[in-house]
Amino acid sequence: MARINYVELPVADAAASKGFYEAAFGWRMTGFGPTYAATTTGDVDMGLQGDASEATRAPLVVIEVEGLDAWPAKVAAAGGTIVRPIFAFPGGRRFHFTDPSGNELAVVEADH
């Protein structure tokens, strides 16, 4: 099964953006260092990426799967282009790809 579980926004200032979303919508956001914050509801969550070297050009939709290692080949066979191979991060592993229209997305498998 694959489902959208996360959207990551590129932001200029993670702390200011965190403050905005908490004040505007009442969301509780957890800070993960000075350049990242996220909601952690366990449903569809949102992250704020304030590190320009890690941020994508546009919001990044993240698709949750099981058996991550098999997915790059599936994405490539369907016409996607892998732009960042599988890498680990706190909470899981993921890779990035572009679809045939040039949109960058990610596929993730959470640590169990």
Residue-range domains of the chain with CATH = 3-110 (3.10.180.10)
How much is the pTM? 0.87
What's residue 1's pLDDT? Answer: 82
Q: Convert the pLDDT of each residue in 34-90 to its tens digit.
A: 999 999 998 999 999 999 999 999 999 999 999 999 999 999 999 999 999 999 998
Within 8 A by CB and 6+ apart from 108, the residues are: 5, 6, 62, 63, 64, 65, 68, 92, 93, 94
Phi, psi for residue 108 in degrees, rounded to 5? -130, 150
Q: Convert the pLDDT of each residue in 1-16 to its tens digit.
A: 899 999 999 999 999 9
